[in-house]
Amino acid sequence: MKFFIDTANLAEIREAQDLGVLDGVTTNPSLMAKEGITGKDNVMRHYKQICDIVEGDVSAEVIGTTFDEMIREGEELAELDEKIVVKVPMIKDGVKAIKYFSEKGIRTNCTLIFSAGQALLAAKAGATYVSPFVGRLDDISTDGVALIEQIVTIYRNYGYTTEVLAASIRHPMHIIQCAEVGADVMTGPLSAITALLNHPLTDIGLAKFLADHKKASAK
Ligand code: E4P
């Protein structure tokens, strides 16, 4: 399973990269706004800075919602760095844009996926990744992980190569559950990834090992 971090914060991206298990970064317009990144030049510079930190894929989302706008923005983003994956919303012109990009060899991440039908359309259009939002479905009492499982099954049935990127991950159990049902990738906050480290028996066990070692060394 690939681990992506869902943030535009450079310090957090560096920290995740330093951990040694980071496979990529996803951003969205809200995350860019949270960092105060506005204006085309600043946005492009920021994406380039992210690409310089990470080794894997960096999803950069288009703002336009018409086919022409998405193509123009997506082509500029893709030219910025070979790590860029153009993130396109699941709307009619978005599907057309994904088809266009896939024929041009530009990689895409189809975002705002909330149903298996949407995921099927994105795969047919040639998306590199689909991003079903697990946490946002859970927020409205709908089983987000069940959607991941449904999409994984459909893609396996037909051999689609589109990768299932479980997005809107909120906590470590989401990561485990998405791994169990076969998600190819997960994206979430660094806190969800580092929470995987924790187990009280690990802490108790380590404290005992070190105490025993200290006792024996003192003899
Ligand atoms: C997907 O790529 C989105 O950036 C993201 O995962 C949304 O997560 P949220 O629901 O926590 O905002």
CA distance 43 to 209: 49
Surface-to-core class of residue 18, CB atoms within 10 Å of its CB (0-12 exposed, 13-18 middle, 19+ buried): exposed
CB 48 within 8 A of CB 81: yes
Say which of 87, 96, 99, 219 is annotated catalytic.
87
Does the CB atom of residue 112 touch ligand 1 within 6 A? no
CA of 219 from ligand 1 middle (Å) equals: 55
Ligand 1, residue 188: give the atom nearest the CA. Answer: 6
Please give the model's pTM, rounded to 2 decimal places.
0.96
> Taking the mean position of all CA atoms in its chain, how far away is CA 142?
21
Q: pLDDT of 154-203, one tens digit each? A: 999 999 999 999 999 999 999 999 999 999 999 999 999 999 999 999 99
Whether 87 is catalytic: yes
Probe target for ligand 1 pocket from 4, 61, 88, 168, with the most ligand atoms within 8 Å of CB: 168
- Distances from the Cα of 38 to the Cα of 25, 47, 156, angstroms: 19, 12, 40
Strands 2-6 and 185-188: parallel
Q: What is the 131 CA–ligand 1 centroid distance (Å)?
A: 9
Task: Give residue-wise pLDDT tens across range 112-166.
Answer: 999 999 999 999 999 999 999 999 999 999 999 999 999 999 999 999 999 999 9
Whether ligand 1 lies within 6 angstroms of the CB of 7 is answered as no
pLDDT in tens, 50-78: 999 999 999 999 999 999 999 999 999 99
| Domains, the chain, ordered by start | 2-217 (3.20.20.70)
Q: What's the 95 CA to ligand 1 centre distance in angstroms?
A: 20
